[in-house]
């Protein structure tokens, strides 16, 4: 994933968010961020796995107000206003595991209030001892979020079809559910392989309407 993903996500947010907003891309090399997108230096205390994303909670990130953090492999397929009007301390996508299915927090679409007590709490632990967090989580952001907070889940806040996993919900679907708003193309793992939008553009009928 590179500049093409940044540009497409920025355009999708602009198409699907009616509220005034600021789109920012944090990058280890801001010079690679495409023109027209605000770029800021990513300077996390840990580069392990997904932990660099925790820099969003840092005062040094310079973020203010309600913040929606989106991974680049998310595809916006519907209105985002419900995500940005959420006023709780922390909301994330639910990941389903085990049987019977249990909903647990995942980390690829997160809403929080920058500068809030929740943001401070999430930042303090990783900034104070990144090595301990790396050992505890193996670089997995979702493990960190579950250990520090008890986040709301988008499927409870916005409805069960608002946020979907391509791997878990849509691999065999010809069309999107009516209430879909964001589809996560997270790593499929060794069993099913990696499934990213650019690899599926000519295979998934609805994808070209939204990833453009």
pLDDT in tens, 95-133: 765 455 566 778 789 999 999 999 999 999 999 999 999
Q: Is residue 46 part of a domain?
A: yes
Q: Which helix (H) or strand (E) holds 114?
A: strand 109-114
Q: For residues 109 and 184, is the Cβ–Cβ distance under 8 A?
A: yes
Share above pLDDT 90 across residues of the chain, in percent, rounded to a whole number: 72
Q: For residues 53 and 28, is the Cβ–Cβ distance under 8 A?
A: no
* Parent domain of 49: 3-158
Per-residue pLDDT at 96 = 64
Tokens of 189: 């793992």
Higher-confidence residue: 172 or 187?
A: 172
- Of 94, 98, 59, nearest to 165 by C-alpha is 94
Q: Is residue 172 part of a domain?
A: no
- Of 123, 147, 2, nearest to 63 by C-alpha is 123
Q: Is residue 191 part of a domain?
A: no
pLDDT at residue 188 is higher than 60:
no
Q: How many domains does the chain have?
A: 1
Q: For residues 125 and 133, is the Cβ–Cβ distance under 8 A?
A: yes
Q: Is residue 124 part of a domain?
A: yes
Entry pTM: 0.90
Q: Is residue 9 part of a domain?
A: yes
Q: Is residue 93 part of a domain?
A: yes
pLDDT in tens, 133-174: 999 999 999 899 989 988 999 999 999 899 998 988 888 888
Q: Is residue 75 part of a domain?
A: yes
pLDDT band at 68; cut points 50, 70, 90: very high
Sign of the four-CA dihedral 13, 68, 107, 89:
negative
Q: Is residue 205 part of a domain?
A: no
Average pLDDT, the chain: 90
């Amino acid at each position: 994933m590179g500049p093409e993903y940044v540009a497409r996500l920025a355009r999708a947010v602009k198409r699907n968010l009616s509220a005034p907003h600021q789109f920012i891309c944090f990058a280890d090399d801001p010079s690679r961020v495409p023109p027209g997108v605000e770029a800021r230096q990513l300077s996390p205390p840990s580069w392990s796995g997904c932990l660099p994303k925790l820099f969003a909670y840092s005062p040094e990130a310079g973020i203010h107000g309600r913040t929606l953090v989106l991974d680049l492999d998310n595809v916006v397929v519907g209105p985002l206003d419900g995500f940005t009007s959420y006023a709780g301390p922390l909301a994330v996508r639910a990941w389903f595991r085990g049987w019977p299915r249990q909903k647990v927090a995942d980390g690829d679409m997160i809403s929080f209030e920058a500068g809030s007590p929740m943001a401070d709490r999430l930042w303090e632990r990783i900034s104070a001892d990144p090595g301990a967090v790396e050992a505890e989580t193996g670089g997995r952001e979702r493990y960190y979020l579950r250990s520090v907070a008890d986040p709301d889940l988008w499927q409870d806040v916005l409805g069960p079809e608002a946020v979907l996993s391509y791997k878990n919900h849509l691999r065999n679907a010809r069309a999107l559910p009516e209430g879909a708003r964001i589809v996560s193309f997270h790593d499929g793992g060794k069993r099913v392989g990696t499934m990213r939008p650019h690899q599926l553009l000519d295979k998934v009928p609805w994808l070209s309407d939204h990833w453009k």
